[in-house]
Structure 1
Amino acid sequence: MSYLLTSFLEDSGLRYQSLFQGKAQEELAEHAPYLVELTEDNHFTCRLFTGPDGIGGLWEKELGIFLRCRARFDALRKHLRKFIRLQNVDGRWFYFRFWEQRYAHCFFSTACAETHWMMMVTQEHRLTVICPKGSAIIVAHAHRSIEHTNIIASKPTQEWVAGLAEAESNRAFQNKLIDKFIFSISKYGHIEYEKAQEILKILLAQAQGYGFESEYALSTYVSVALELSQFPAENECYRKLLESAKHPDTKAELMLKLIVYAKGNADD
């Protein structure tokens, strides 16, 4: 869809520009975030928000977020570029993909100082962010009770960046599990992404309840549960193992051996 989107933009006649530039833009042009200045009567705008049934269109494909702001295009782009990459306390850089709806609704629905700082383009210009979340719509504004100067002068704290980096890492891990253990298996392949997230959230919470912390242990618990098509604790053999005093990684290894053994017997 990303390739089609850039083609749509090229043919739209609208003003648009990537938030990336230089080498990043050269390498990621088709997947880069683009700031687009929409006009009401443009055919791209119509296609974005309307479909065959009169509503929906490309917007339902979660291609981005909708911003309202009176700041000039160049000023807004310059402001947004401050946030595309963040550095954690260990010096590692990562992309903060606030333009993706799955991340945006988590970030913009929180009332922290960093959110307000990001939504204040200048002392006179605030951002309003609109993004869907399921059948609902989130509308986020900068908090008017905070002094403008304090917002603009503030910087993300290392604690906030660390939390964001951890959340990003967790989301990447969860998406990897969804792709590997849910979407790649025929009996689960038809499940919607949101439903897959719900299933994974439940299984990870169960695993953590048994002390599983490493990615190996967590991913093993998820794979075994999906292979069993039931919660492992509902099976007496797995329940005894989970309730044992063994190290969580050892439990995970034994769970994996049990499922492989069971599959081998079934094949025989």
Structure 2
Amino acid sequence: MSRETRLEGDGTVAPEQVLTVMRAEAEPLFAVLDAARERRMLKLLQGAGEPFESLYEGEEGKELAEVAPYLVSLPKDSALLEQLMRSGWGRSWGLFLTSRLPFKETRRHLRKFLMIEDASTGKQLYFRFYDPRVLRMFLPTCTAEQRTEFLGRLGSILAEGEKGEVLRVQGAEVSSARASRTTTTPAVLAAGSAMRRRLTSANPRAP
């Protein structure tokens, strides 16, 4: 990880501390939440009243609705944000990110990384970048170019550390990504493919 915000404690970080960190972000806050990790996730989002949408589309989106990753907008005073901190932090429910891009553009950027090609078989595989355990393995393998491509014009990505600390990948460290849009993902696909064999889904319901 490029930078981390470490919180005091013995490895069990109080949800209130993480909530304070999230609310202190200057840019608009979003989360990508994994319905495969929590069976109540879709109902939770439907009842929260915040804008959300699956990263999957069409028939795939319908078929995988109960295990899909969902992008949700999180105002700093959102009751959903507080609930996610209290119930989900430390359970690999997803990742958080900041972005000045509109909701649709943020979703469009994230959708580019849903699939990767296995270098050994040529098969298209789901890439669970939104699982913080996967993200912690993926980012250290990235070159500067790959990290730039992955972040695009996002402000930052915030995810759980192994001990519950807040790990931050800061978009400002790859400011060249802000100058133009990323339209293809060969570098990220290469990094994801290279490490795919090391990843094991923690939940058999995950696609």
Which of 132, 143, 149 in structure 2 is aligned with 1:101? 132
Partner of 2:79: 43
Aligned to 2:146: 114
Shift of 1:138: 1.3
Equivalent position SS for 1:76: helix
Counterpart contact for 2:157–2:168, Cα < 8 Å: yes
Compute the TM-score of the two structures, normalised by the length of structure 1: 0.54
**Separation in 2, partners of 1:84, 1:43:** 28
Aligned in 2, Cα 1:42/1:29: closer, same or farther, shift over 3 Å?
A: same
User: Take 1:78 and 1:151, find their aligned partners in 2: how far apart are those partners?
Assistant: 11
The CA RMSD over aligned residues, in Å, is 2.8
Alignment map for 1:1-268 (pairs within 5 Å): 2-50=38-86, 57-89=87-119, 90-109=121-140, 110-121=142-153, 126-135=154-163, 136-142=165-171, 143-144=173-174, 146=176, 148=178, 152=182, 155-157=185-187, 161-172=189-200
Instruction: In structure 2, give the amino acid aligned to 1:139.
Output: R
Can you give the 5+ residue segments of structure 1 that lack an aligned partner in the other structure? 51-56, 180-268
Cα pair 2:95 2:157 within 8 Å, conserved = yes
Q: How much does 1:23 deviate?
A: 2.1
Count residues in correspondence. 164
Query: Computing the radius of gyration over CA atoms, which structure comes out larger, 1 or 2?
Result: 1
Where does structure 2 lack aligned partners over 5 or more consecutive residues? Answer: 1-36
Deviation at 1:150, TM superposition (A): 7.5
Match of 2:34 in 1: none
The corresponding residue for 1:257 is none
| DSSP-derived class of the 1:61 partner | coil
Matched letter for residue 85 of structure 1:
M
Partner in structure 2 of residue 256 of structure 1: none
Does the 8 Å contact 1:108/1:140 carry over to 2?
Answer: no
Q: Are the equivalent residues in 2 in contact too, given 1:9–1:16 (CA < 8 A)?
A: yes
TM-score (normalised: structure 2): 0.68
Please state how far the C-alpha of 1:172 moved relative to its aligned partner: 2.6
The structural deviation recorded for 1:114 is: 1.6
Describe the shift of the 1:145–1:167 C-alpha distance in structure 2 as closer, same or farther (beyond 3 A).
same
In 1, are the aligned partners of 2:138 and 2:191 still within 8 Å (CA)?
no
Matched position secondary structure for 2:130: coil
Structure 2: which amino acid aligns with 1:98? F
- Aligned-pair identity (%): 24
* Cα distance in 1 between the residues matched to 2:177 and 2:200: 35
Q: Against the structure 1 CA distance between its residues 166 and 147, is the aligned structure 2 distance closer, same or farther, given a 3 Å change threshold?
A: closer
Higher relative contact order (CA 8 A, sep 6+): 2
Distance 2:180 2:75 in 1: 33
Q: Report the AA paired with residue 165 of structure 1.
A: S
Q: Deviations over 1:164-200 (max 9, x none)?
A: 2242222239x69xx9xxxxxxxxxxxxxxxxxxxxx
Structure 2 vs 1, CA of residues 12 and 170 (structure 1 numbering), >3 Å: closer, same or farther?
same
Structure with greater strand percent? 2
Instruction: State whether residues 113 and 151 of structure 1, in contact with CA within 8 Å, keep that contact through their aligned partners in structure 2.
Output: no
Q: CA deviation at 1:107?
A: 2.5
Distance in structure 2 (CA, Å) of the matches to 1:63 and 1:145: 28
**Aligned partners of 1:154, 1:25: CA distance in 2, in Å?**
22
